């Protein structure tokens, strides 16, 4: 996602500085190019040697060493994004008032790229009116200021002021670099299993974890779409708060929610493993163990994909087909019978594909008879693969 992006991390003096080791690793793993500057105070909290090893670049601290007085301007021009994390109270004050007495603030003042800050300080310092005024000034100057978290603080107290975790900062960085392939498009995605109630303590479900639906929701969001995810009781949900999640439990609730939201979307992708059958009667009391053989009467659930296929106007409808045998024939039949534009075929015969795996191998079939095969990919990459096919035909 961040291939080729140039990120300049600027670390100021706070105990949270040690977390930048993880942030650097996460950014490098995402394909970003990382350079790091830090204040003298920050170098007391985290080793510049560790950071230079992880970032593959020399960490720069002193403005006057090695002719950096001139180079600080180049650093600010090199970056696509400058991330000041942790942002200490002192550096915040300098930023708000234009001080230029160390390398970090000199780079900040000369940066031509957007600047994102992750504050870190004790709760009382965070709530001090001067700090809040400085935050407002820095925001008004066009910088992105991330929230602080509530929790254990270095002082031993609990409260607001903790720097966000590296994974949360990474989400904000990825959101910043959102692409616009699907800008203006509204995408509806279903995900996870459904639970069909038998009695107050039992239900019928399947092994779906929601990983594929979540990967699709995040991929379409990062490609610029406005995403709504209708999710059954899944183990995995999207992490971007901009993705709206509508939780449902049963196949019937998923059907109702899909129908309520379908007319507002341009693309619907039905990745959920919806129960095909549901008990005719749902017992209000726990069913007691009496008979040697117990008959549970089930009725078919409504087919959401088929209904959306019938109702669609200028919309793209994508279904999934999870098959254990005769995979291609079954997927082709579903494409026609459900009037879908695409069917994404998952075969449980493929190694590493199906429920619970982090990987998937899909074949995307369309109405013209085209078949695009992904090979074994992470579910995240499989989601981008599916998105790229839809985008090409849009
Ligand atoms: N689907 C749906 N509503 C249902 C059942 C399935 O919308 N009540 C959707 C799934 O989300 C998927 C597609 O239909 O996109 C195919 O689901 P699948 O379980 O593979 O096939 P079924 O149509 O249920 O048929 P079968 O179980 O007999 O293979």
Residue 391 neighbours by CB under 8 Å, 6+ apart: 181, 182, 223
Q: What is the largest CA-CA distance in the chain?
A: 87
From the CA of 307, give the closest atom in ligand 1.
7
For ligand 1, what atom is nearest to the CA of residue 276? 8
Answer for the pair 35, 75: CB distance below 8 angstroms, yes or no.
yes
* pLDDT (tens digit per residue) in 213-269: 999 999 999 999 999 999 999 999 999 999 999 999 999 999 999 999 999 999 999
Domain 6-176, CATH number (from 3.30.70.980, 3.40.720.10, 3.40.50.1950, 1.10.1740.10): 3.40.50.1950
Task: Give the pTM.
Answer: 0.93
- Spacing, Cα 278 to ligand 1 middle (Å): 14
Question: Within the chain, which residue ranges are assigned CATH 3.40.50.10300?
Answer: 186-392
Residue 336: pLDDT band by 50, 70, 90 thresholds? Answer: very high
Q: Which CATH superfamily groups domain 186-392?
A: CoaB-like (3.40.50.10300)
Residue 52: CB atoms within 10 Å: 16
Q: CB-based contacts of 71: which residues, under 8 Å, 6+ apart?
A: none
**Per-residue DSSP letter, 288:** P
| 3-state SS assignment for residue 49 | helix
Q: Is 303 in the pocket of ligand 1 (CB under 6 A)?
A: yes
Q: Is the CB of 321 under 6 A from ligand 1?
A: yes
Catalytic residue among 206, 261, 330, 372: 206
Can 325 be counted among the known catalytic residues? no
For residue range 57-71, what is the model confidence (pLDDT) as tens digits? 999 998 777 665 657
Ligand 1: centre distance to CA 321 (Å): 7
Q: Within the chain, which residue ranges are assigned CATH 3.40.50.1950?
A: 6-176
- Residues counted in the chain: 394
d(CA 377, CA 344): 14
Cα(193) to centroid(ligand 1), Å: 11
Is the CB of 322 within 6 Å of ligand 1? yes
Question: Within 10 Å of residue 298's Cβ, how many Cβ atoms?
Answer: 15
Cβ of 272 less than 6 Å from ligand 1: yes
User: pLDDT value at position 66?
Assistant: 61
In angstroms, rounded to a whole number, what is the distance separating the alpha carbons of residues 147 and 76? 24
pLDDT tens sequence across 261-295: 999 999 999 999 999 999 999 999 999 999 899 99
pLDDT tens by residue, 78-93? 999 999 999 999 999 9
**Residue-wise pLDDT tens digits, 74-130:** 888 999 999 999 999 999 999 999 999 999 999 999 999 999 999 999 999 999 999
**Which burial class, exposed, middle or buried, applies to 382 when counting CB atoms under 10 A from its CB (0-12, 13-18, 19+)?**
buried
**Interval 12-49: pLDDT, tens:** 999 999 999 999 999 999 999 999 999 999 999 999 99
């Amino acid at each position: 996602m961040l291939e080729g992006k140039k990120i300049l991390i600027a670390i100021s003096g706070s105990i949270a500085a040690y977390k930048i080791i993880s942030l650097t690793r996460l950014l490098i793993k995402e394909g970003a190019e990382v350079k790091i500057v830090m204040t003298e105070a920050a170098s007391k909290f985290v080793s510049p040697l560790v950071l230079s090893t992880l970032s593959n670049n020399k960490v720069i601290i002193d403005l006057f060493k090695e002719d950096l007085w001139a180079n600080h301007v180049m650093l600010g021009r090199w970056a696509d994004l400058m991330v000041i994390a942790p942002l200490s109270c002192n550096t915040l004050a300098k930023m708000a008032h234009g001080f230029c007495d160390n390398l970090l603030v000199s780079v900040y003042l000369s940066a031509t790229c957007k600047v994102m800050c992750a504050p870190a300080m004790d709760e009382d310092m965070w709530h001090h009116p001067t700090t809040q005024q400085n935050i407002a000034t820095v925001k008004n100057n066009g910088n992105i200021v991330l929230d602080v978290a509530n929790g254990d603080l270095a002082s031993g107290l609990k409260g607001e002021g903790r720097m966000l975790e590296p994974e949360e900062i990474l989400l904000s960085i990825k959101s910043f670099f959102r692409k616009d392939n699907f800008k203006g498009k509204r995408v509806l995605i279903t995900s996870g299993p459904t639970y069909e109630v038998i009695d107050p303590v039992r239900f019928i479900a399947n092994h779906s974890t929601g990983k594929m639906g979540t990967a699709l929701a995040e991929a379409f969001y990062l490609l610029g779409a406005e995403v709504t995810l209708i999710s059954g009781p899944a183990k995995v949900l999207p992490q971007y708060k901009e993705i709206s999640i509508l939780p449902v439990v049963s196949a019937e609730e998923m059907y109702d929610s899909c129908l309520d939201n379908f007319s507002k979307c341009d693309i619907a992708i039905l990745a959920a493993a919806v129960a095909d059958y549901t008990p005719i009667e749902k017992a209000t009391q726990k069913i007691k163990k009496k008979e040697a053989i117990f008959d549970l009467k089930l009725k078919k659930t409504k087919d959401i994909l088929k209904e959306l296929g019938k109702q669609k106007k200028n919309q793209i409808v994508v279904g999934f087909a999870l098959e254990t045998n005769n995979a291609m024939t079954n997927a082709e039949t579903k494409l026609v019978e459900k009037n879908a534009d695409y069917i994404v075929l998952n075969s449980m015969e493929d190694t590493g594909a199906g429920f619970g795996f982090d990987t998937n191998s899909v074949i995307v079939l369309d109405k013209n008879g085209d078949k695009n095969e992904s090979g074994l990919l992470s579910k995240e990459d499989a989601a981008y693969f599916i998105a790229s096919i839809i985008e090409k035909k849009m």
